[in-house]
Amino acid sequence: MIVAIKTQAVKTKELKLAIERIGSVSAILTQPDKARACYILSHGAGADMRHSFMDKVATGLANRGIATFRFNFRYMEKKQGRPDQPAVAHAAIRAAVEEAARLCPGLKLVAGGKSFGGRMTSQAQSKAPLPDVKGLAFLGFPLHADKKPSTERAEHLAHVEIPMLFLQGTRDGLADLGLLRPVIAALGTKATLHEVEGGDHSFAVLKKSGRTNEEAVEEVLDTLTAWIDELP
């Protein structure tokens, strides 16, 4: 799958996201001049919204005409080691969706993110639909803890009624594909799996694969862009 890329003028805004009864956290809106969609991009458990992977995703999507709204979860903003409780993370995601809709009126909204951020987004969606969000995209869904294969973390996905895209490396230690494939198959036509050959949880590939980490990330971004464009 190849997506034509035309470099666009991009505006980046540093913002504060207010979360009801929780406080405010830092956020970044990256918006190309001719954006056609906005991806609410939540970070993983171990790194904040400014991690190099998050930057690459935001820049790469901007070059493809997709805006991104990134934000820190409260624990990361306050430099606390342990991730927020789900209810707190869900509140942050809902606030981010509302703010992205306000800042990007008329754009198609998609939510999700890296690992923990993507899982918290699907949990939030399963409890109550995120307003105007047309689909969820996961950049490495963390099906289970490392070396502890299970499928309990995916049980809530049955209650998500909008399209979902799972972008997964075939070497992902947090998502045994032997377990993930049947989970996704059981979700039916609303779920799509794209496997990045040789990629780990962050889509890094081995040198012997014959391609670079950058090429693997480009595959992820091309696939994500095409999927977003196909959403109604």
Query: Per residue in 49-95, pLDDT tens?
Result: 999 999 999 999 999 999 999 999 999 999 998 999 999 999 999 99
Q: What would the two tokens of residue 100 be?
A: 């992205």
Q: What would the two tokens of residue 42 be?
A: 């939540």
Query: Per residue in 124-147, pLDDT tens?
Result: 999 999 999 999 999 999 999 999
- Residues 167-178: what's their mean pLDDT? 98
Q: What is the CA radius of gyration of the chain?
A: 16
Query: Per residue in 38-61, pLDDT tens?
Result: 999 999 999 999 999 999 999 999
Contact 223, 195 (CB under 8 A): no
Contact 70, 78 (CB under 8 A): no
Contact 27, 33 (CB under 8 A): no
Sign of CA dihedral 213, 1, 177, 156: positive
Q: Is the pLDDT reported for residue 163 higher than 80? A: yes
Rounded to 10°, the helix 116-127/86-103 angle is 90
Distance CA 208, CA 216 (A): 14
DSSP 54: H
pLDDT of residue 6: 60
Higher pLDDT, 130 or 8: 130
